[in-house]
A and B are shown apart, each in its own frame.
Chain A
């Protein structure tokens, strides 16, 4: 059974940092692109970042809204993907989902972890 489990969310002050983690199980993690997607009432579902495979030199891509502030990374030996978030803003508040990419779709999603940026 494919499982994705996020952790690391919580409350952080504006300008602060936070690192989200996602542990995968039930499949060969190193064979799949991974993404982070967030959801807020204001913006709905918003793609945040993507990381590809070792064969793609672990290429990364980011939404314009987070470029320069967020960093996605992966550790295939731990079946994990991470999202380092720096210089957080109120508009980064939301539920953050880890997703697996397959055939140009996000075929599995984690349960989400909540991030609140507020003073």
Chain B
């Protein structure tokens, strides 16, 4: 199975900051990397799929990049509503779908 690692479990930033969250796969996942946002109430939403494609309705301040085994999610101009936990997931070798451990973003 492909293992997904988010080495930063929590991150603190100020409103208006540019924030980058990283994710590493245990093998090449050919850009099949997705990012999800989980709000404190448990609601989960897809933000980005296939490394850099924005899901419908997602603000343009979210962007994704990467290739091979290393990927990142960037939030430019951090807003209060972005306080959440962010998970990466690989969609290359299925099943199983595998997730990173999550990065919790807090306001400084």
Q: Of B46, B95, B99, B102, which one neighbours A50 at CB under 8 angstroms? A: B95
**Are A105 and B102 interface neighbours, CB within 8 A?**
no
Any B CB within 8 A of the CB of A111: yes
We find that the number of chain B residues with CB closer than 8 angstroms to chain A is: 23
**Are A45 and B87 interface neighbours, CB within 8 A?**
yes
Residues of B within 8 A of A78 (CB): none
**Are B42 and A104 interface neighbours, CB within 8 A?**
no
Give chain A interface residues in 37-92, CB to chain B under 8 Å: 37, 44-47, 50, 61-64
Give chain A interface residues in 14-55, CB to chain B under 8 Å: 35, 37, 44-47, 50
Bound Cα distance from A42 to B108, whole angstroms: 26
**CB of B85 to closest CB in A, whole Å:** 10
Known: A45-B99, A47-B98. A104 touches B44 (CB 8 A): no
The count of A-to-B residue pairs whose CB atoms sit within 8 angstroms is 61
Bound Cα distance from A8 to B91, whole angstroms: 28
**Are B95 and A106 interface neighbours, CB within 8 A?**
no
Q: Of A44, A105, A108, which one neighbours B91 at CB under 8 angstroms? A: A105
**Are B42 and A108 interface neighbours, CB within 8 A?**
no
Judged by DSSP, the binding face of A is strand
Q: Of B43, B49, B92, B96, which one neighbours A107 at CB under 8 angstroms? A: B49
Bound Cα distance from A95 to B45, whole angstroms: 15
Known: A35-B97, A47-B95, A47-B98. A105 touches B46 (CB 8 A): yes
Q: Of A44, A64, A109, which one neighbours B44 at CB under 8 angstroms? A: A109
**CB of A88 to closest CB in B, whole Å:** 20
We find that the number of chain A residues with CB closer than 8 angstroms to chain B is: 22
**Are A104 and B32 interface neighbours, CB within 8 A?**
yes
Chain B residues within 8 Å of A, Cβ to Cβ: 32, 34, 36, 42-46, 49-50, 55, 87, 89, 91-92, 94-99, 101-102
Chain A residues within 8 Å of B, Cβ to Cβ: 35, 37, 44-47, 50, 61-64, 95, 97, 103-109, 111-112
